């Protein structure tokens, strides 16, 4: 169920923002906070939609690369237009923007939000597009952002969407979640075009849990690939993996429908099946005998599933649910367990009934 964004003053500010946007002919001023591959892909998409786009990075070298080459080295061929501003100046990126798109790795979400908090105006919309759960606090990324920037109107966007394909204009469908329908529909309008379809949802928690936990299951799928297993194994991991994600997610308050939608099973399928997936690629290397540190070094990108795996088990303990696949991934990552042994233990678990609520005829 949608909730009204809190505070009369915040609603007045948002209404004025919408009015200002209409006066400018639907062109919005949008800053991408984070200059990695996903940020660059979304910057390119939003620019093609007619918006004024700024890309911010905390890394001076990354900003210089984007200015010089007009593309990210991790995603060659996706060019930034010359009039997209690339900057490391905080004020330039935040002040006066209609939308801030937070696209930094989950492990940097809190420090980045804290850094920019003082510049964010009351009611300014901040859309988080990263995925993860913070170790220790067990907070989702939107919860972290709301804690650090309480004056922001925080929304999330998630779904099966590899940056490499979005940057190339390959048809993609995704979901935006917000506390108010108005905010969700506003963001929908900014992003949607003939190759990027956006649905809306009030279930922010379910969306975020699906996006974070699927990365852990994708590590398992990659490990199975690295061990040389086949399509039967992959299908089993995807199917039982979404069951685990939904089991924990509904226990925490997410909606079951969300986990069987784009931000649940949809995102899980694409992450487990594609070589664009850094989690699957890291899993393959782990299945071949490398440690998770060696795998991350070889992938050369942040492997979010490694950071979410421990948090997932802490949440499972807190909410008293079983996550056998995710538990075995943790054992492989952090306890040195042999991957083949982990698979054997999964296969030899006690006999279960798949559909627990179905009734036998006899």
Q: Which residues are catalytic?
A: 214
Total count of residues recorded for the chain: 362
Q: Which helix (H) or strand (E) holds 334?
A: helix 324-334
Q: Cα 210–212–214 angle (5° rounding)?
A: 65
Q: Which helix (H) or strand (E) holds 43?
A: helix 37-48
| The pair of three-digit structure tokens given for residue 103, joined into one six-digit string | 């696209």
Closest CA to 272 of 241, 309, 294: 241
Cα separation of 54 and 60, whole Å?
15
Q: Which residue has the tokens 């939904």?
A: 246
Q: Could you give phi then psi for residue 109, rounded to 5 degrees?
A: -60, -50
Q: Which helix (H) or strand (E) holds 206?
A: helix 204-226
Q: Which helix (H) or strand (E) holds 200?
A: strand 196-201
């Amino acid at each position: 169920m949608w909730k009204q964004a809190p505070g009369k003053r915040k609603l007045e500010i948002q209404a004025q923002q919408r009015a200002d946007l209409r006066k400018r002919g639907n062109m919005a001023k949008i800053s991408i906070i984070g200059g990695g591959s996903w940020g660059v892909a979304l910057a390119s998409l939003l620019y093609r939609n007619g918006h004024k786009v700024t890309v911010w990075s905390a890394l001076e070298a990354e900003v210089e690369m984007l200015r010089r080459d007009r593309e990210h080295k991790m995603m060659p061929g996706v060019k930034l237009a010359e009039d997209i501003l690339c900057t490391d100046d905080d004020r330039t990126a935040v002040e006066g923007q209609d939308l801030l798109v937070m696209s930094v790795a989950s492990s940097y979400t809190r420090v980045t939000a804290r850094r920019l908090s003082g510049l964010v105006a009351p009611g300014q919309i901040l859309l988080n597009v990263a995925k993860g759960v913070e170790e220790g606090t067990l907070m989702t990324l939107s919860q972290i952002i709301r804690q650090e920037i309480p004056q922001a109107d925080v929304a999330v966007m998630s779904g099966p969407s590899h940056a490499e394909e979005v940057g190339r204009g390959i048809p993609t469908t995704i979901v935006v979640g917000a506390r108010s329908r108005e905010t969700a529909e506003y963001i929908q309008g900014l992003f949607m075009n003939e190759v990027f379809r956006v649905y809306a949802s009030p279930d922010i928690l379910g969306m975020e849990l699906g996006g974070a936990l699927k990365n852990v299951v994708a590590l398992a799928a990659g490990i199975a690939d690295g061990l040389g297993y086949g399509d039967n194994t992959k299908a089993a991991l995807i199917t039982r993996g979404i069951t685990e994600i939904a089991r924990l997610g509904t226990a925490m308050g997410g909606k079951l429908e969300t986990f069987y939608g784009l931000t649940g099973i949809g995102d899980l399928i694409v992450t487990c099946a594609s070589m664009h997936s850094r989690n699957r690629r890291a899993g393959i290397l782990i299945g071949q005998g490398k440690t998770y540190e060696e795998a991350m070094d070889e992938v050369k990108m942040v492997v979010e599933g490694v950071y979410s795996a421990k948090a997932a088990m802490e949440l499972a303990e807190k909410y008293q649910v079983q996550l056998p696949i995710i538990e075995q991934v943790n054992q492989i990552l952090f306890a040195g367990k042999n991957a083949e042994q982990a698979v054997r233990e999964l296969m030899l678990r006690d006999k279960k009934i798949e559909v627990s609520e179905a009734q036998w005829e006899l």
